[in-house]
Amino acid sequence: MDLTREILSDIKIEKDFLSSLSCDFLVSFAEDNPDIFKSRKTFFPNYGLKKDLGEYFSCQFSRDCFSDIFKEHLDITFNGLPVKEIQLNRYEAGDFIPPHKDMQRSIHTIIVPLQDDCENKLVIGDPEGYYNGTSVEESDKEGKTKSFPDTKGDGYRFDGVHLVHWVPPVKSKRYSATFLYAI
């Protein structure tokens, strides 16, 4: 069954959502402040659909907190909404997030890779292949998933919390930022 059309109707690509300069600023900020990251196995665990846990690190900034840190680089609204929270994720080679649906309440979620790396991907769609050990390339070819290679600054947006998505084990150090928009 080819779900590609359905997947593509659920996700929108916001080209150049962040400038290259903003991406570089966030990566530099993360590299200069490694102690702000906590393992998501213990800090607000992000459970997969089968209650499995990924291996990655994260830090979260609420609207009140990040305004002083990021205001100059990230004064971002979307569809008239201010960003409610920014989450920075750091992955070491081999780290991953299992298939999941987001738990937080947001109107828009925008996931932004902070570096270019065609080996690292965000995957949307049927998690069956993930749990059965099918490669992302094969699952994409079968039309069960759609993977998006990391393109620096592009935002991958979905609305609500129904979309199943994951990050397969990354090939190299990866940083991404997730922007949550709510009233």
pLDDT tens-digit map of 24-82: 999 999 999 999 999 999 888 888 999 999 999 999 887 776 656 666 666 677 888 88
| Predicted pLDDT of residue 60 | 87
- Cβ(175)–Cβ(27) below 8 Å: yes
Q: What is the pTM of this model?
A: 0.91
Look at 72 and 109; give whichever has higher pLDDT: 109
- List Cβ neighbours of 75 (8 Å cut-off, separation of 6 or more): none
Which of residues 115 and 9 earns the better pLDDT score?
A: 115
